[in-house]
Amino acid sequence: MHILYSILGLFAFVRYSIGLLEDVQASLSEQTSFDEYINKSLLWAPYRSNCYFGIRPRNVNKSPFILGLMWFDNSELNALNGIRHFVEQGDKLAKYGWEVYDPRIGGKQIFIDQHNNLNLTVYFTKNHEGDNWAIRVKGEPLDKTKKTTTSVVLYFNQNGEDGISKIVKTLDVDNSLQFEGFSKELGSYELSIRDNHGEYYADPNLPTMEVVSGCDSSRVAHVSLKVPDDNVWMAKDVFNSLLADSVRAIVQEKGTANISPSLNPSLFTIRNLYSFPAGNFHYVQKTFDLSKAGGFEFDVTYNKVNSKEKILSSQKITLLITEALQEVEARFNRHFQIQDEDKEMRVFALETLSNLLGGIGYFHGTQMVDRETTLDDGQYEKIDLANGHEEGPLSLFTSVPSRAFFPRGFYWDEGFHLLQIMEYDFDLAFVIMSSWFDLIEDSGWIPREVILGNEARSKVPEEFTVQNPNIANPPVLLLAFSEMLDKVIGKKENLAINFFGDNRADNFEETSQLENNEELLLVYAKKIYPKLLRHYEWFRDSQRGSIDEWEEVLEDEELSEDISKNEVYSWKGRTIDHCLPSGLDDYPRAQPPDISELDVDALAWVGVMTRSMRKIAHILNFEDDERRYANIESDIVKNLDLLHWSEDNSCYCDLIVNDYSEAREFVCHEGYISLLPFALKLIPLNSPHLPDLINLMGDPQKLLSDFGLLSLSRQDEFFGTKENYWRGPIWMNINYLCLDAIKHYYPEVTNDEIKQMDETSKKAKALYVKLRGNLISNVFRVWKEKGYCYEAYEQNTGDGKSAEHFTGWTALIVNIIGQK
């Protein structure tokens, strides 16, 4: 990738320097390359998505610096029950998440923790070069009448089992600590922890707060020890174990009757009970008295030793924070048009986008793969992937659907995430997409869930940790790449495209280098094309349906000559009750399952892949490939209509061969699957089926609700049954695709001046306006009531359903709000 970006930077410079060829060599040495800019601006961020707050660098794998934040109220004897570390729905925080955030710049994250009586704010910011950063931790009590404490625990580790990488304490004065570190990949750096204000907990009626040597809540506590690099993520477990052992030893020594309740905060202060030798792992614990006015505030700064722009004062941190918050808001306003009077809507949209961006993580480690278990035709029992083995290590830079519930990479979710991210930061979307494409194996397979390392696996039920190279997922990444190509090709050439200045606030276009220069993206497309081709062929081969079961049926129905027998597909790995590969899990399918099943959504997704490959081949001038893809795409469109369109049901349906009549049988369940050929813009602009699909979406007795399009028709026998995951609830990703498709087929729906419209166009416009309004008003309402976006929304009430703080594809609501 470093070579690739260097090439991209060269192309950008040459375009900029037309007419100045005699100065090319001199200018090249001064020009900051695209590669360097990306690496600098995206090096540091809170990339540990599973933590309430956790920092690690991107693309630093052998000796990364890792930092995390924990907190709890240590004034009570049950203090350990309230420690916050990993994002957990069970913690029941009233609210948490980013209010303003951009991984290139920084932002502000808030935590409303009623159990710990704490209103906690964490700011993250970077210098303009991106090599240094600072954290500001600020806390206040939610209820000032309660006598509580907040014990904030920072832990950090300089990974690297090389005997050279290290981080050691060099200064401890008035509760300020300073550390010096070194990493082969990061170089030499300094870490400083300094208080701005706040009082450590002390009872003035006691002569000392030191319950035993080293346990004193009135001073900062520091413990250094050795923790294996692979176990750094278990910082909370190690802390709990050390603290529990310490408390037990103190109680045995002194007895509970001899320990004043006022000493509880000291009792729950970490110490080096076992005299462990110093190591690269450090705990720093600060216990603040929340009954004191003003709460507390302290800063953590990281500075490279040889950096030109160090962060050396609290005033500098304040300035950087102010700049960062203002700049993110300015960028947001530039890309999303929200009326000035909708101030609360703007807050909601900015927060939702910020939390999608705040879920971006960098993952590195091994994954579990079962390459031995095969998927036999006609076997629909639960698949037991019992032959998993560790492979790798691999790396992935990705956003996650939910930091609490799904803090890992999901192949089909990520394409939807990128549809949102590219509207705000085109180049960031490109970098994330390229990271995913780098995972394509020689066989063409990408795992449907990418779970790298023990930290990521700790948040995944064991049954889902192992991946199998026969199981696919909807290739939404190709849909996103297709949209990206459309954006680039549709723009005029921009010669002055390389804006890598120091003043971040003036350079909005710095995040749109690829969008503004076709050649830059074409170089990447040419490089990635062979991998995408392997992925495309793997998907078609692995999910191809069993056409042998259909030979007689097609002959009897006189379809044998008209359809393409190569372009029929079914999801491999479905069970009786679930089709996890489709992404629509419990959506009704043929019952009982049959080897002859052909799935309309599988065919539609192959159509999307084919269209994307055709576009790539076109812009790369691969004429033979382009003709091949065009022919396949044409065959898929024909098969959608000739095979999967049911005249009786007026929608697209799955198929099986009826065992008794030996004829084609439509398996029709009106809902998202019925709409996918339309939602993915595969059917022709003049298709006679368009009126039927508009009617289906606009029918309040079936799919249209006050909260969005239902996943399954109210009239379906399976509506709302069993786990009711995709059997009625409203999902933003498919609603977004349907809204976008309505604009595609009926562009007049967004133009208020067009008065002459046919009947279907009028219905489409009314549907578009109502559906868009319903989605916005409901997601906004739930956010105001609960403080979160959700994975899905209940079909009868519109309330949030399933995972909360789900700002993965639900963040697409920002696109819907910000674009008419």
The phi, psi pair for 122, rounded to 5°, reads -125, 120
pLDDT of residue 26: 30
Mean pLDDT computed over 408-419: 96
73 is catalytic: no
- Give the range among 14-23, 133-142, 552-561 with minimum mean pLDDT: 14-23
Best-predicted range by mean pLDDT (36-40, 341-345, 784-788): 784-788
Estimate to the nearest angstrom the gap between the alpha carbon of 551 and the chain centroid. Answer: 44
- Buried (b) or exposed (e) across 609-638, using 16+ Cβ within 10 A? bbbbbbbbbbbeebeebbeebeebbebbbe
Check if the beta carbon of residue 807 is closer than 8 Å to that of residue 356: yes
Mean pLDDT computed over 215-225: 97
**Best CA proximity match to 737, nearest among 788, 695, 693, 781:** 693
- Give the range among 1-5, 52-56, 530-534 with minimum mean pLDDT: 1-5
Tell me how crowded residue 744 is: count the other CB atoms within 10 A of its CB: 12
Question: Rounded CA gap, 325 and 351, in Å?
Answer: 12
Question: Rounded CA gap, 111 and 96, in Å?
Answer: 4
Rounded percentage of the chain residues whose pLDDT exceeds 90? 82
Say whether pLDDT at 632 is over 90: yes
Q: Is 428 exposed, middle or buried (0-12, 13-18, 19+ CB in 10 A)?
A: buried
pLDDT of residue 488: 79
Say whether pLDDT at 14 is over 60: no
Helices (H), 512-649: 518-542, 551-556, 600-619, 623-644
Type of residue at 207? P
Mean pLDDT computed over 751-761: 81
Q: How far is CA 209 from CA 26, 204, 213, 260, 636, in A?
A: 65, 9, 10, 10, 75
pLDDT of residue 228: 94
pLDDT of residue 513: 76
Write the DSSP symbol of residue 519: H
Question: Rounded CA gap, 51 and 398, in Å?
Answer: 15
Question: Rounded CA gap, 780 and 813, in Å?
Answer: 9
Mean pLDDT computed over 637-659: 96
Say whether pLDDT at 550 is over 70: yes
Question: Rounded CA gap, 219 and 226, in Å?
Answer: 23
pLDDT of residue 6: 39
- Give the range among 159-173, 602-616, 735-749 with minimum mean pLDDT: 159-173
Mean pLDDT computed over 449-461: 95
SS (H, E, C) 84-153: ECECCHHHCCCEEEEEEEECCCEEEEEEEECCCCEEEEEEEEECCCCCCEEEEEEEEECCCCCCCEEEEE
Mean pLDDT computed over 317-338: 95
Estimate to the nearest angstrom the gap between the alpha carbon of 314 and the chain centroid. Answer: 32
pLDDT of residue 509: 57
Question: Rounded CA gap, 311 and 735, in Å?
Answer: 45
- Give me the catalytic one of 585, 641, 706, 799: 585
pLDDT of residue 32: 44
Confidence category of residue 195, pLDDT binned at 50, 70, 90: very high
Pick the CATH number of 47-335 from 2.60.40.640, 3.40.1160.10, 2.70.98.110, 3.40.50.2300: 2.70.98.110
pLDDT of residue 659: 86
Work out the mean pLDDT of the chain and round it to a whole number.
Answer: 91
- Give the range among 289-303, 390-404, 504-518 with minimum mean pLDDT: 504-518
Question: Rounded CA gap, 279 and 216, in Å?
Answer: 22
Write the DSSP symbol of residue 581: G
Confidence category of residue 303, pLDDT binned at 50, 70, 90: very high
pLDDT of residue 342: 87
pLDDT of residue 151: 98
Q: Residues 76-99: pLDDT tens digits?
A: 899 999 999 999 999 999 999 999
Confidence category of residue 491, pLDDT binned at 50, 70, 90: low
Q: Residues 533-546: pLDDT tens digits?
A: 999 999 999 999 99
Mean pLDDT computed over 12-35: 39
Question: Rounded CA gap, 362 and 55, in Å?
Answer: 10
pLDDT of residue 433: 95
22 is catalytic: no
Say whether pLDDT at 367 is over 50: yes
Q: CB neighbours of 682 closer than 8 A, spacing ≥ 6?
A: 604, 607, 608, 611, 636, 637, 640
Q: Which helix (H) or strand (E) holds 65?
A: strand 65-72
Domain boundaries, the chain: 2-31, 47-335
The DSSP line for 446-487 is --SEE--HHHHHTTS-GGGSEE-TT-----HHHHHHHHHHHH
Rounded percentage of the chain residues whose pLDDT exceeds 70? 93
The Cβ-side half-sphere exposure at 524, using a 13 Å CA radius, reads 28
Check if the beta carbon of residue 671 is closer than 8 Å to that of residue 653: no
Say whether pLDDT at 446 is over 80: yes
pLDDT of residue 820: 64
- Give me the catalytic one of 216, 586, 626, 791: 791
